[in-house]
Amino acid sequence: MLIEDYLAQQLKEAGVKRFFGIPGGPSIPYMEAFRRAGIEFILASHESSAAMMADVTARLTGVTGVCHATFGPGAVNLASGVGGALLDRTPMLALTTEMPDKWFGRTAQMNIDHQALFRPLTKATFRLDAGNAHEVISHSLELANEEYPGPVHIGLPADLAGSGVSHAGTPARKERIHDPAEISRERAGVLIASSRRPLIAVGLTAMRTGAGRALLRFLEDHEVPVIVTPMAKGIIPSDHPCYAGVLFHALSDRLEKLAGAADLVIGLGYDPVEYNYESWIADVPLVHFDTVSPDLRISGAIEYVSEPEEWFRVLSPLRSSPEMTSLAAEARGEIQETFKRASQGLNPVAVLELLREMLPPEATVTADVGSHLHLLGQMWDVQRGKLIMTNGWSSMGFGLPAAVAAALAGSSGHVVCVTGDGGFLMHAGEMITARRNGLKIIVIVFSDGELNLIKVKQSWKKISPYGIQLYSGDLFGAGRFLGADVIRVTDAAGMRSALRSSLSSGGSVIIEAAVDPACYDDLIVRSL
């Protein structure tokens, strides 16, 4: 079997239905082999978008995402999105065309060392050949999906296509990020049983491994306050009596009283890649439950590494704490009331309130990075739908490629991208990808003409705004952009009308919401 057909066969058997990228000449045989195997190629407008689409596809389908780029500049572009899969913990295979052996390490057009490029951004990087194909491909799929999941890079030499697969060869070397640490079960049990004011912090790993149902069952008998990291939003309902709020995002300083009162913090699938413990916990004991041993640097912290179902068995002696759940309700109420007071005119809070009111509960919302994300992450009620963001990697421009991937994956209900104008401009070309594939996406662009989050951080340092102005006047200045209708709104009534029209439209719509960004100053919590 030819190596391109073998790769296509292995990916097909792994459940892969589509891959994303921008082709080069040497990738044509692979594209054809994938097409014959029934794996669809999705042409992106930029390689980093392609990797982001592969990332979100894996999150939504549970199947390893696959993306591709060609030599040099294509691989470098792809690398940005691949880093997202590493720090947002998504299984991915990143394929790149590489120079043939005779040119490897030589000075040549578009030639760089792809293994050196991808080594710090992936769990492992391999260079494929006819002798190692069996080992590399199977190990790459396995490694990408092991805890923590993440990307694996495979280099495809330009002259490899057309070669027959050999069953002999050098075994591929698996590289693991973490090795399990020794666990002190007895000490963890003592702390859990003796705690009177416990606080549970739930994170990305709990969300990703589907621990939400077990958590809800646990909370039925153990009334303990819960705070979540941004990518765990929705693991329990926002109106649950134990729910307090989201760390790191807007108004999270309202959680300080709750955190300060705790005599024990329990990290439940808490991934420090989102927000380090040291940034918010007081000098109290920490018991950290995880699927692998992370790189904690907290003296005395106890790590408990196991499958998620075991976490709740270990936690069973934990006592309810009416005092702490009362503080959680107080923090939750204060956050909600502050947002309510801040909703004025056409500011970002008002727009998000309208979205919450008008979008069907099963809608999929993708969120770009920027000031608006801090509000969205704290405000949004995840019901039957999904909220998709990047927080470990936090790359601007994520929102629109993520929406394209969600629409391609067949997300039920409407797909809505919430982005700032800066993030939208980075990957605006993916509107053509949506158009080419007949997708319907509603894009909400918070139009304030600036990189507002940088402006806010400049203000913290007493620096006048500098280097953050994007444009003046209208962003689009027209009623159409790359095949999508554009509706500019300047007040709440216009926003309501535009949303109503967009929901009933048969195609993609961009709503340019000319927002007043002043509220960000009072809502975004100071951080690094």
Q: Find, among 31, 29, 74, the residue nearest to 51 by Cα.
A: 74
b/e burial code for range 65-83 (CB count within 10 A of at least 16 → b): bbbbbbbbebbbbbbbbbb
Do the beta carbons of residue 251 and residue 338 sit within 8 Å? yes
The residue ranges of the chain whose pLDDT is under 50 are 169-183, 528
405 CB-contact burial (10 Å; exposed 0-12 / middle 13-18 / buried 19+):
buried
Which residues lie below 8 Å from residue 31, measured CB to CB, with a gap of 6+? 23, 41
Contacts 24+ apart (CB under 8 A), 274-281: 274/203, 274/204, 274/229, 274/230, 274/231, 274/247, 274/248, 274/391, 274/392, 275/229, 275/230, 275/247, 275/248, 277/301, 279/248, 279/527, 280/247, 280/255, 280/256
User: What pLDDT is attached to residue 170?
Assistant: 45
User: Does the bond joining 148 to the residue before it have cis omega, within 30 degrees of 0?
Assistant: yes
Q: What is the pLDDT of residues 13-48, one digit of tens each?
A: 999 999 999 999 999 999 999 999 999 999 999 999
Distances, alpha carbon 519 to alpha carbons 371, 453, 513, in Å: 10, 12, 15
User: What pLDDT is attached to residue 39?
Assistant: 98
User: What pLDDT is attached to residue 115?
Assistant: 95
- β pairing state of 198-202 and 226-228: parallel
Q: Find, among 98, 367, 362, the residue nearest to 250 by Cα.
A: 367
Q: Find, among 437, 421, 426, the residue nearest to 510 by Cα.
A: 421
Q: What is the pLDDT of residues 330-380, one digit of tens each?
A: 999 999 999 999 999 999 999 999 999 999 999 999 999 999 999 999 999
**Domains in the chain, please, with CATH?**
3-157 (3.40.50.970), 185-332 (3.40.50.1220), 343-523 (3.40.50.970)
The string of DSSP codes covering 92-146 is: EEEEEEE--GGGTTS--TT---HHHHHGGGSSEEEE--TTTHHHHHHHHHHHHHS
Q: How far apart are the C-alpha atoms of 502 and 497, rounded to whole Å?
A: 9
3-state SS of 174-213 is CCCCCCCCCCCHHHHHHHHHHCCCEEEEECHHHHHCCCHH
Phi and psi dihedrals of 91, rounded to 5?
Answer: -70, 130
User: What pLDDT is attached to residue 184?
Assistant: 63
User: What pLDDT is attached to residue 167?
Assistant: 66
Which residues lie below 8 Å from residue 264, measured CB to CB, with a gap of 6+? 191, 192, 195, 197, 198, 199, 284, 285, 286, 287
The pTM assigned to this predicted structure is 0.93
- β pairing state of 364-367 and 386-388: parallel
Phi and psi dihedrals of 364, rounded to 5?
Answer: -100, 125
Which residues lie below 8 Å from residue 269, measured CB to CB, with a gap of 6+? 202, 203, 204, 205, 206, 207, 208, 209, 211, 232, 289, 290, 291, 308, 311
Phi and psi dihedrals of 151, rounded to 5?
Answer: -85, 150
- β pairing state of 198-202 and 92-98: unpaired
Q: How far apart are the C-alpha atoms of 523 and 456, rounded to whole Å?
A: 11
User: What pLDDT is attached to residue 526?
Assistant: 80
| 21 bridge partner residues | 43, 68
| 253 bridge partner residues | none
Angle 308-315/212-221 helices, nearest 10 degrees?
10
Q: What is the pLDDT of residues 421-472, one digit of tens each?
A: 999 999 999 999 999 999 999 999 999 999 999 999 999 999 999 999 999 9
User: What pLDDT is attached to residue 300?
Assistant: 87
The string of DSSP codes covering 400-460 is: HHHHHHHHHTT-SS-EEEEEEHHHHHHSTTHHHHHHHTT---EEEEEE-SB-HHHHHHHHH
